[in-house]
Amino acid sequence: MKIYLNGNLVPKEQATVSVFDHGLLYGDGVFEGIRFYSGRVFRLDDHIDRLYRSARAIALSIPLDRDAMSQAVLDTIRANGMSDGYVRLVVTRGEGSLGLSPKSCPTPTVFVIAAGITLYPEEMYRNGLKLVTCSTRRIAHGALSPMVKSLNYLNNIMAKIEAEQAGAGEGLMLNEQGYVAECTGDNVFIVRDGRLVTPPIAAGALAGVTRAVVFELARQLGIDIREEDITRYDIYTADECFLTGTAAEIIPVVELDSRPIDDGKPGPLTLRLTELFRELTRTTGTPIG
């Protein structure tokens, strides 16, 4: 395996960062997860744009321009001879001295990993995912904007641990007001009376790339889609529910807190959107070359 690290493609064994890197010491950095299918990178420009917005939000200057960063992603995939897989693109504050101040970090660290990923077993895509509500709340906007895809994922990890200990496939996270924010790594959608509803960004949801694709597909189908605050009640009583994410793609949810959603099976609109999404990933994207 070859890893892109600060301008060079190096063997996995040589892809190391300093123990003084602030990304390791303090979770100070940003990242993107990107999928590629059949020799094409899906929504590469959208991911690169979000990476730079996240960096700007935390006052992190990326040492590459957008075109060079996109090329680094493509070069890494080609170097590993892959046509389908997952890219993890990371920019840290870089090596510095002990202490929180980023002033001691003159040069950010950039690395790109291209590998395979299996977030959920295939049977969950066929039969649906079971969720449990986590006691760990989503970090509020006033603490750290959920729009920033930062390296500090401890909030999500603690919720994921709760979900796993409860035997659920995913954990539902609420905000401090008790409204649904998102799951530990995915956006949440419900279907009610033929329309789609998803929590707004203000509720604590990440502006997911796959989330945005669902908005596009809904418009193509003539489906009304809205961003509204929702509660667990709305999920309990929904006609359908599904999650979206770059790694997860679109996956149906059939149960929350041991309560079946409708008949406890993946719904027709969820299945239709999944079909359209998979067709889109097969036919569009930036060629790897």
List, by residue number, the catalytic residues.
149
Cβ atoms 108, 62 nearer than 8 A: yes
